[in-house]
């Protein structure tokens, strides 16, 4: 009886381990997809920034214009 019970418990543990491994694989696949999407987005952003700089955009200039819009000039 003890041997049969041990086999049953071992089988249950194996099923739980298989579910855990399956979950880890799913999680890893999702992480890899997210990482690839992030790399693609960074490339896309770099391309747009390069185009903007070619047309004369400057980050420092953009910040100073943004700040001056918030100030009220009184005369």
Q: Is residue 69 part of a domain?
A: no
Residue 45 domain boundaries = 15-57
Q: Is residue 23 part of a domain?
A: yes
pLDDT tens digits in sequence order for the chain, 75 residues long? 798 999 999 999 999 999 999 999 999 999 999 999 999 999 999 999 999 999 998 877 666 666 666 665 554
Q: Is residue 1 part of a domain?
A: no
Q: Is residue 44 part of a domain?
A: yes
Structure tokens at 3: 């041997």
Q: Is residue 8 part of a domain?
A: no
- Which of 23, 25, 21 lies closest to 13 in space, CA to CA? 21
How many domains does the chain divide into? 1
Q: Is residue 33 part of a domain?
A: yes
Q: Is residue 62 part of a domain?
A: no
């Amino acid at each position: 009886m003890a041997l049969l019970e041990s086999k049953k418990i071992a089988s249950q543990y194996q099923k739980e381990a298989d579910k855990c491994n399956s979950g880890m694989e799913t999680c890893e696949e999702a992480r890899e997809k997210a990482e690839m999407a992030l790399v693609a987005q960074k490339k896309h952003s770099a391309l747009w920034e390069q185009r903007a700089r070619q047309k004369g955009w400057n980050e420092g200039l953009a910040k100073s214009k943004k700040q001056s819009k918030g100030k009220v000039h009184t005369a």
